[in-house]
Structure 1
Amino acid sequence: MLRSIFPLALATLLPNAMLLAQAPFSSIAQVGHTAQCSCGEAVCGCEASYSDPTCGVSEPSSDCDSICDSGCDSMSGGAFSCLTSGKKGGCFSGGGEDPFSLFGCTPCGVTISGWTEIGYFTKGSDYRFNSRPNEVQLQQAWLTIDKAIDTSEGFDIGGRIDYIYGTDGPDTQAFGISNNHWDNSFDNGGDYGSAIPQAYVEMGYGDLSVKMGHFYTIIGWEVVQAPDNFFYSHAYTMYNSEPFTHTGALATLAVGDDTEVFGGYTLGWDSGFADNGDNFIGGVSTALCDNVNFTYATVFGRFVEETQERGYMQSVVFDVTLTENLQYIFQSDWLDTENASGAAVRESIGINQYWIYNINDCLAVGGRFEWWNNLDTSTGNKADVYDLTLGCNVKPHSNFIVRPEIRWDWDSDQLGVNENDAKSQATFGIDSIVLF
């Protein structure tokens, strides 16, 4: 029933729809935290009554108040003054300016934005998104249309759709089923391709909201969207042990000012609008104290219909503000699945630790250390894989981020399946992100 209702609802919504503003430079996105309003630049249509325990209150832009208050009737005159809202500039030209938006604030709470990411990295491990070593590549050309819901005055409806083109496109398609449904056939060679990783309707009333459709997972801390990660490369855990997308329904309930509980039903892992299993998805995110946020998220049930893979997956994240400038994140993932005959399909456990220090509005430095223990089903052996990544984020302009890094990888099984592979390797990478 979900697959028959959703396309009609989405078609009705999109002419009015969609996008959340980008997170600020000093704020790293929390995957498990699904606030109604974003943590960064205010979204036209978001009211200041919702408090996000990880980043404070999201307030509406004063330039857009009159448009949002007057609703969809304000399609002329002052409505178009928002097309150039946001100051140009960055910390090298005064500091503190809002990012410039190419589309600005549109009527009815609809926001359109995106980014372009271009990257380069030296030859390294195959356990990451990066698929074309030693060459400059377009990794993400991203466009989002979003209408964030505002339930401060009762029921509201919104939604979101994301489109990506680049070498990261094939990695975020609905590849969980081998029938080329949804966006799984949107490849054009050379590791390039397109994807529609999110397309959902969201409805809310009071403290409860429900999204229905195709959306990103709540598992883990790193995400596919480049601007919301500190590092250019990804952790082994994120790429190999976690789902990317789900299709189904997910409800979020705000319990007080600092806790959210979420739960829902999805059609397996990494599927579009086709049956790839059935599983529960849910968890809780809460502020344990002023400086510590805790998130637990889980998925269990049938993950892949074709192989009858079923099992349990969980992610635990502690996000700790150690000082005004220093942030520490601890994440642990556990995945355990088997096929219909009871044979192990995937068994892995990992611990990721991140340290991020904001020197000023223009510069932040950070480190990531990961241990990932994974079962090789062909041999029955488990290998301990490690990575240490050191990098920085340079932001000379509010709309421009550069992320150089150096990464070391090593493991107990020589980073591969044969004894001729090196036991360790070093990789340099750098990318640039232009937001609009």
Structure 2
Amino acid sequence: MRRNTAFLLLLAWLLGLCLPAAAQDLVDGVDASSVESPYGLGDLGEAWVEPTTIGQLWGCIGGPDALITGWVTQGFTWNPSSPRDGFNGPVTYNDRANEYQFNQLYLSAGRDAVTDGCCYDLAGRVDLLYGTDYSYVTALGLETHQNGTQKWNSETADLGLAMPQLYAEAALPWGNGLNVKAGHFYSILGYETATSTGNFFYSHSYTRQYGEPLTHTGALATYCLSPNCTVQA
């Protein structure tokens, strides 16, 4: 039951892709001069029924520029020592010795907020990962209980489901443009990432697994001071 929750979230996200077009059709037939503010402020004219604004309100997570991407990653790691239990540790991700691994069936939907300093924008993203890599991107309280036991997956399963990213992102036209991301997302620290397409090698360094956070839950603000200087907090 809980495993289906992530797929339902993804379905709702995909439905958002169609809503901006529907909102556009609704606005096309409206006379702007006849529309009044629901707050008793009188005629709001074009600003009240501006198609992009309504499209963002209804389909802000998707929008016309949203992308749906995915990939499959699999591999085999040869270990001449042939450990008896098959564990290739302390290596992570490709942690099975002399065994085939179905690492990632990855699906991502959403888009980035456009931060240009002149307009408001609202976007978001959801990522789902199924495979042997799932255990390295799970978070306490989301895919697992606070005591570390599995919530979505079996305790003994080699393959599992994780949702490493689920966030909303807002672009605010303040100064050069302020970007605020809130939710669950990958860490900005380090050169490597959990997504196999974002790394040069199939394997990962010890620093990536043992020295850096994998994901964060919270908020991240980004402000561009100049073309060569960006501040994040």
Question: Do these two structures clear the TM 0.5 threshold for a shared fold by scoring above it?
Answer: yes
Task: Name the TM-score class by shorter chain.
Answer: 0.5 to 0.7
1:185 equivalent in alignment to 2:155: no
The alignment partner of 1:138 has SS state of strand
Rounded to whole Å, the distance in 2 between the matches of 1:175 and 1:71 is 38
Structure with the largest fraction of helix: 2
The answer to whether the 8 A contact 2:108-2:125 is kept is yes
Q: 1:150 aligns with which of 99, 114, 117?
A: 114
1:160 equivalent in alignment to 2:125: yes
* 1:16–1:225 CA distance, 2 compared to 1 (3 A): same
Write the letter of the residue equivalent to 1:254: C
Pairwise CA distance, 1:186 = 2.6
1:222 equivalent in alignment to 2:159: no
Q: 2:228 aligns with which of 258, 261, 269?
A: 258
Residue 118 of structure 1: aligned partner: 74
Rounded to whole Å, the distance in 2 between the matches of 1:176 and 1:219 is 22
Residue 137 of structure 1: aligned partner: 101
Q: 2:202 aligns with which of 227, 232, 235?
A: 232
Residue 201 of structure 1: aligned partner: 168
Rounded to whole Å, the distance in 2 between the matches of 1:71 and 1:223 is 37
Rounded to whole Å, the distance in 2 between the matches of 1:231 and 1:141 is 18
Residue 247 of structure 1: aligned partner: 217
Structure with the largest fraction of strand: 1
Rounded to whole Å, the distance in 1 between the matches of 2:147 and 2:69 is 27
Rounded to whole Å, the distance in 1 between the matches of 2:121 and 2:63 is 15
Residue 128 of structure 1: aligned partner: 92
The alignment partner of 1:108 has SS state of coil
The answer to whether the 8 A contact 2:107-2:129 is kept is yes
The answer to whether the 8 A contact 1:71-1:108 is kept is no
1:95-144 C-alpha deviation (Å, 9 max, x unpaired):
xxxxxxxxxxx852211111110111023432322222212111000000
Rounded to whole Å, the distance in 2 between the matches of 1:199 and 1:182 is 20
TM-score normalized by structure 1? 0.36
Write the letter of the residue equivalent to 2:16: N
The answer to whether the 8 A contact 1:183-1:194 is kept is no
Write the letter of the residue equivalent to 1:117: T
1:145-185 C-alpha deviation (Å, 9 max, x unpaired):
11221233410000011000000011110148972599952
4+ long deviations beyond 4 Å: 175-178, 180-184
Pairwise CA distance, 1:246 = 1.0
Rounded to whole Å, the distance in 1 between the matches of 2:141 and 2:24 is 43
Residue 33 of structure 2: aligned partner: none
Rounded to whole Å, the distance in 2 between the matches of 1:201 and 1:134 is 41
State the aligned residue count.
Answer: 172
Rounded to whole Å, the distance in 2 between the matches of 1:211 and 1:181 is 28
* 1:72–1:261 CA distance, 2 compared to 1 (3 A): farther
C-alpha RMSD of the superposition? 3.1
Write the letter of the residue equivalent to 1:146: G
Aligned runs of 1:28-427 on 2, under 5 Å? 73=24, 108-123=64-79, 124-152=88-116, 153-175=118-140, 179=145, 184-188=150-154, 189-206=156-173, 207-263=177-233
* 1:170–1:192 CA distance, 2 compared to 1 (3 A): same
The answer to whether the 8 A contact 1:175-1:184 is kept is no
Residue 103 of structure 1: aligned partner: none
TM-score normalized by structure 2? 0.65
Rounded to whole Å, the distance in 1 between the matches of 2:223 and 2:217 is 19
Residue 279 of structure 1: aligned partner: none
Pairwise CA distance, 1:71 = 9.3
Rounded to whole Å, the distance in 2 between the matches of 1:252 and 1:155 is 15
- Percent identity between matched residues is 35
Stretches of structure 2 lacking an aligned partner (at least 5 in a row): 1-8, 26-61, 80-87
Stretches of structure 1 lacking an aligned partner (at least 5 in a row): 1-9, 18-67, 75-105, 264-436
Write the letter of the residue equivalent to 1:159: G
Rounded to whole Å, the distance in 1 between the matches of 2:95 and 2:169 is 34
Pairwise CA distance, 1:205 = 1.6
